[in-house]
Structure 1
Amino acid sequence: MHVNGKVALVTGGAQGIGRAFVQALLGKGAKVALLDRNSEAGQESKAALDEQFEAQRTVFIQCDVTDQEQLKGAFKKVIEHFGRLDIVVNNAGVNNEKDWESTIQVNLTSVIRGTYLGVEYMRKGNGGDGGVIINISSLAEDINDITQDCCLFSFPF
């Protein structure tokens, strides 16, 4: 996929596989919004990426993907900041057996919301140019381990 000049939004983008997605997209010429609930990790990631890439190509938005209003607001901020949205990577995920309800909120509900928000903003009928939505699920902590247990779904439209 040609991503040069495209705008991507990556949930859980401050660390782990999300951070690797962000770096790969930036390496191919995209502009990227990193969404993460961890403000410290997000700010550190943004600063490190700014040293490697042009600072105006990234924005960090603190966002708890389980909070519907925060997630909607984050999508809106991306459009306001970059003027468009072309790629959504629903990557945020947790594995907490003791708090299964929270796990479902992060790993399922927020992915569905992120998918619908991506369609809403990127759909040609709503003034978008189309785009791609990538929903990823993995317990891997390293991008190199992802081939072992990844479910990757891409929805171009």
Structure 2
Amino acid sequence: MLKGKVAVVSGAARGLGKSFTHILLENGAQVAMLDVDEAEGQELQVQLNQQFGSERTQFYKADVASELQFTDVFQKIVSKFGHIDIFCNNAGIVDEKNWEKTVSINLSGVVRGTYLALDHMKKQNGGNGGIIINVASLAGLGPLPSAPVYTATKFGVVGFTRALSMASQASGYGVRINALCPSFVRTSLIDSFDQKEKTGNFHNLAAITHSLMDKFPIIEVEQVAKAFLHLVKDECVDGAALLVKSTGAEYVIFPKDMETTPISI
């Protein structure tokens, strides 16, 4: 159980973020929900407070691409709940035409959110430690040709998570940092891969994406939420990337860090 724990989830109004919020509440946590969609976020807050009791959730409108908004909302959360124990960087988009926006939300937003969370959570600043989960993707482990910028941001999330986990351990922050890498999930995001306005010059490669979907069948948000909860609860897991597929979840085995094997060329 997570009773007494305070969690923050970005991109919480729908899809994976909504599912993460729900499973955290089911397990006793209080949840601060962040999203740019104020109407949907407010509506969800009302629903969840009716289901789980008042004061269990609080919605905050915030754009993770804005340092000012992100910083301000963290202060509001700490003022209301007193501390943060769990932070989930979940907000993300697919937009190959506006690739700078994709980088700003998918990667810069993760870096920004993680550093803000660490400031409040790490023991050196009087925090209680805790867990940060950065939502990456199957595309952060292998390329998605129809969305190269999306792929780059998710590779970046995995690399950033692994490096910062090591830094946290070496610095004694008391904060575990893990990456969650779902394959194709049944959310509105998946529709972006079929939309020319989102895939731009690579729309002609949609067939490749569909062939990958055949190889990695679409999974439901509830399955990803269970894997998310496992990362939250298992205090032995730090610096991991958990891949979630239709056949189950498995930890990614990376080559030995910073080591190479010489070959003749």
TM-score, normalization: structure 1?
0.90
Which of 221, 226, 239 is equivalent to 1:143?
221
Using the TM superposition, give the Cα deviation of residue 144 of structure 1 relative to its aligned residue in structure 2, in angstroms.
4.4
Higher relative contact order (CA 8 A, sep 6+): 1
> 1:98 is paired with a residue of what secondary structure?
coil
Q: Could you say which residue in structure 1 is the equivalent of 2:258? A: none
> 2:100 corresponds to which residue?
101
Aligned length: 152
Structure 1 residue 98, shift from structure 2 partner: 1.2
Match of 1:29 in 2: 28
Please name the residue that 1:82 is paired with.
81
Which residue identity does 1:148 align to in structure 2?
A: K
Query: Do structure 1's residue 121 and structure 2's residue 120 form an aligned pair?
Result: yes
Q: CA deviation at 1:137?
A: 2.3
Task: Identify the residue that residue 3 of structure 1 maps to in structure 2.
Answer: 2
Deviation at 1:73, TM superposition (A): 0.8
Deviation at residue 57 of structure 1 after TM alignment: 1.0
User: Aligned pair in 2 of structure 1 residues 72, 16: CA closer, same or farther (>3 Å)?
Assistant: same
- The one-character-per-residue Cα deviations of 1:86-118 (angstroms, maximum 9, x if unpaired) are 010000000011111101001000000111111
Q: Offset at 1:44? A: 1.0
- Is residue 2:68 matched to residue 1:69? yes
Shift in alpha-carbon separation, 1:132–1:94, aligned structure 2, 3 A = same
Structure-2 change in CA distance of 1:144 and 1:25 (3 Å): closer
Per-residue deviation at 1:148? 3.2
Is the CA contact (8 Å cut-off) linking 2:8 and 2:87 kept in structure 1?
A: yes
What runs of 5+ residues in structure 1 fail to find an aligned partner? none
Could you list the per-position Cα deviations for residues 3-46 of structure 1 after superposition, in whole angstroms to 9, with x for gaps in the alignment? 22100000001110000000000000000000000001101110
How far apart in 2 are the matches of 1:148 and 1:64?
A: 29
Take 2:136 and 2:16, find their aligned partners in 1: how far apart are those partners? 10
Q: Which has the higher strand share?
A: 1
* Bigger-Rg structure (1/2): 2
Kindly state the Cα deviation for residue 55 of structure 1 after the two structures are TM-superposed.
1.7
RMSD: 2.1
Match of 1:48 in 2: 47
* TM-score, structure 2 normalization: 0.54
**Does the 8 A contact of 1:42 with 1:60 survive in 2?**
yes
Alpha carbons 1:72, 1:117 under 8 Å: kept: yes
The runs of at least 4 consecutive aligned structure 1 residues that moved more than 2 Å come to 137-140, 144-150
